[in-house]
């Protein structure tokens, strides 16, 4: 049974069609790689699967749940995680303070609360 299904997915950035009509299924328990030359659209596919960008067209379905237009935190809750090609760590910071910086722009009160929750989750502060 397919765990992840990408159906006819396209992504357009203005006049640039980065991904065109991609169909892909990842069966349960399989490890697959996405290969292609620079600029082929690999990272854009991962960005769509993890909610960084919504697809312009098509559907992304994981374990029966449509992920299109879900925020990254909701997608993570469904069980999809990722790492990044360029992680750009802060050289002057340890893991504790670096973690809360990983959240994309949020309103500052929300950001503080979120950072506190995450610090507790990682058991890095009191």
Ligand X SMILES: Nc1ncnc2c1ncn2[C@@H]1O[C@H](COP(=O)(O)OP(=O)(O)O)[C@@H](O)[C@H]1O
Return residues touching Mg ion (CB under 5 A).
Answer: 42-43
Q: Which stretch binds ligand X (CB under 6 A): 12-20, 60-68, 75-83, 93-101?
A: 12-20
Residue with tokens 């990044």: 84
Q: Does 43 bind ligand X (CB under 6 A)?
A: yes
Beta strands in 1-126 (DSSP E): 2-13, 16-27, 57-62, 65-66
Burial of 13 (0-12, 13-18, 19+ CB in 10 A): exposed
Provide the β-strand partners of residue 4.
26, 62
Q: CA 116, CA 83: separation in Å to the nearest integer?
A: 22
Q: CA 99, CA 105: separation in Å to the nearest integer?
A: 14
Contact criterion met (CB below 8 Å) for 104 and 71: no
Q: Does 40 bind ligand X (CB under 6 A)?
A: yes
Q: Does 42 bind ligand X (CB under 6 A)?
A: yes
Q: Minimum distance from CB of 83 to Mg ion (Å)?
A: 13
Q: Minimum distance from CB of 85 to ligand X (Å)?
A: 8
- Is the Cβ of residue 38 or residue 123 nearer to ligand X in the bound state? 38
Q: Minimum distance from CB of 4 to ligand X (Å)?
A: 18
Q: Does 36 bind ligand X (CB under 6 A)?
A: yes
Could you list the residues that contact ligand X (CB under 6 A)?
A: 13, 16, 18, 36, 38-44
């Amino acid at each position: 049974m397919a765990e992840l299904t990408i159906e006819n997915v396209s992504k357009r950035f203005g006049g640039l069609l980065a991904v065109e009509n991609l169909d892909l299924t990842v069966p349960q328990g399989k490890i697959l790689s996405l290969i292609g030359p620079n600029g082929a659209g690999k990272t854009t596919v991962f960005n769509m699967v993890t909610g960084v960008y919504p697809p312009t067209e098509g559907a992304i379905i994981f374990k029966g749940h449509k992920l299109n237009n879900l925020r990254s935190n909701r997608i993570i809750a469904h069980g999809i995680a990722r790492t990044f090609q360029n992680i750009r760590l802060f050289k002057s910071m340890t893991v504790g303070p670096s973690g809360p910086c990983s959240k994309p722009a949020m309103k500052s009160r929300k950001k503080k609360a979120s950072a506190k929750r995450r610090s507790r989750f990682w058991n890095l502060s009191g």
